Amino acid sequence: MASAGSRPPRLVYLTAGAGGMYCGSCLHDNALVKALRGLGWQAQLVPLYTPIRTDEDDVSLDQVFFGGINVYLQEKVPFFRWVPRWLDRLFDQPWLLKRVTSKAVETDAAMLGELTASMLRGMDGHQRKEVRRLVDWMATRARPDAVIVSNILVSGFLPEMKQKLDVPILVTLQGDDVFLERLPEGDRQRCLELIRRNAQSADGFIVHSRAFGQRMSEYFQLPIDCIHVTPLGIDTHDYKTRGDTSKPQRDTVHLGYLARLAPEKGLHHFVQAFIHLRCERRIDNVRLRIAGWLSPPDRTYAEAQWAKLRDAGLGADYEYVGVVDRRAKLDFLQDVDVFSVPTQQVEPKGLFVLEALASGTPVVQPAHGAFPEMIEPSGGGLLYEPGNSEQLVDRLADLIASPSQRRELGNRGREFVLCHRNSDSMASATAELIRHFLPASLLAQGDSA
């Protein structure tokens, strides 16, 4: 451990960029590091793979480790495992990575088994020089007192980092299982074995709900007492300053969806519920508004949903507004009257729920993953049994029929998020957790965070 002097602890947060996509993990990591800085911590947000994309002020380092181009080339072309560093630097330029990923052409996870396993092998994998570069930079330049890693899929460097730095390392678990479950069985089992080996070099794991922590303990075979729950939060400053959050006065009720347009997020469930409301229950005063990232591999899936709506005679009653920036997102969430993302996956975070509640919009969500632990204490929405499409329709119909209930739930949810689930609350809980792993000598030398 480097000598601290009279300074707050130094934290390096390693986050995995998601190309050109607004990524929930990137939004979370960026907001957390920004808030930790506000508490006085010397915190750096360091991108892996690609630069991050966030709809808030980007506080990440303008430098990328494990650049996506180099990682891929070193896996597929042995020559690139031995080229000099100056050539690697050409491919690691943030502007180049942004340009290459601007179209966000997503590679099917089923084709990434070999690459994922190689990354998880760390110093024994094809990207060993990337491991050396990151660990050397951490040891000589960043010199952190603690490290947080944004997911366990990049854990190949943990053994080397733990040996060279000898500082506490925490790993945030926020959906790694979704990727692994898309791999072929043999690749998935191989990756799980490597992850369980690498996990021994971590001091603890961070999750945002007890339910998800229990699931991850079983999935990765992690001791439950090594998994720590910190509350999820969002940057609420511009939600607060918007003032009046009353919904537009109109006869129609707008149902809203804001997430990736993908099967695991349940867009098809939302579309089918809307069709049922209109065609089976004859509720005519309802419209559908959809926003979010659509990756090339999911385009056929999304087009199938639009076709269902047109075939039901509802082609004029829905709108897909595409990807929204920060201001457009807040406008979208304030415009819709009821919000739902009926995910199939067990949701580790659910940032979109906090964003909707902060906008005064009630939510309807399946009772799994992080959702019950967000919605029940907030009083800002309704839960339904996962997989029960009829119950989803019932909950939506109840809110469509009751403007007073929508207002009551929306007001409760907004107050809860602004008071208890803001990024400062998240940062304070995270800082307190990290303190438990720091030596008393460091904390006694002027930690004002």
Weakest mean pLDDT among 50-64, 87-101, 127-141, 353-367: 87-101
pLDDT on residue 53: 77
237: its two tokens: 């400053």
Label residue 449 by pLDDT band (50, 70, 90).
very low
3-state secondary structure 379-404: CCEEEECCCCHHHHHHHHHHHHHCHH
Q: What is the mean pLDDT of residues 68-76?
A: 78
Rounded Cα–Cα distance for residues 166 and 157 (Å)? 13
Instruction: Please indicate whether the domains covering 10-233+424-443 and 237-421 agree at the CATH topology level.
Output: yes
Query: Does 41 have pLDDT greater than 90?
Result: yes
Could you tell me which residue, 73 or 215, shows the higher pLDDT?
215
Above 90 in pLDDT, residue 66?
no
Binning pLDDT at 50, 70 and 90, where does residue 59 land? confident
The 10 Å Cβ neighbour count of residue 310 is: 12
Domain 10-233+424-443: give its CATH architecture.
3-Layer(aba) Sandwich (3.40)
In 3D space, the residue among 362, 367, 371 whose CA is nearest the CA of residue 209 turns out to be: 371
Q: Give buried/exposed letters for 403-429 (b at 16+ CB in 10 A, else e).
A: eeebbebbbbbbbbbeeebbbbbbbbb
pLDDT above 70 for 283: yes
pLDDT digits (tens, 9 = 90+) for 354-398: 999 999 999 999 999 999 999 999 999 999 999 999 999 999 999
- Of the listed ranges 176-185, 190-199, 383-392, the least confidently predicted one is 176-185
For residues 273 and 198, give the distance between their C-alpha atoms in angstroms, rounded to a whole number.
43
Task: Give 422's strand partners.
Answer: 234
Residue 315 is inside which H or E element, if any?
none
Q: From residue 13, give the alpha-carbon distance in Å to each of 30, 272, 447.
A: 9, 40, 18
Residue 446 reports pLDDT greater than 60: no
Residue 175: pLDDT over 90: no
Listed by start position, the domains of the chain span 10-233+424-443, 237-421
- Of 112, 127, 113, 120, the C-alpha closest to 158 is 120
Average pLDDT over residues 291-308: 94
Average pLDDT over residues 74-94: 74
Catalogue the E-assigned strands of 251-317: 253-258, 286-291
Q: What is the mean pLDDT of the chain?
A: 89
The residues near 115 (Cβ < 8 Å, ≥ 6 apart) are: 71, 72, 75
**Is the pLDDT reported for residue 103 higher than 60?**
no
Q: Which element (helix H / strand E) includes 174?
A: none
List pLDDT tens digits, range 116-136: 999 999 999 999 999 999 999
DSSP string, 47-108: EESS----SS---B-S--BS-HHHHHHHHH-GGGGSS-HHHHHHHT-HHHHHHHHTT--PPP
Residue 1: the pLDDT is 42
Between residues 420 and 100, the one the model is more confident about: 420
Query: What fold, for 237-421?
Result: Rossmann fold (3.40.50)
What share of the chain has pLDDT > 90, as a percent? 71
Q: What percent of the chain has pLDDT over 70?
A: 90
The helix/strand count (H/E) of the chain reads as 20, 12
User: What is the structure's pLDDT at 2?
Assistant: 42
The mean pLDDT value for 44-62 works out to: 84
Q: What type of residue sits at position 195?
A: I
* DSSP3 helix / strand / coil % (the chain, rounded to 5): 50, 15, 35
Residues 190-203: b if buried by 16+ CB within 10 A, e if exposed: bbbebbebbbebbb
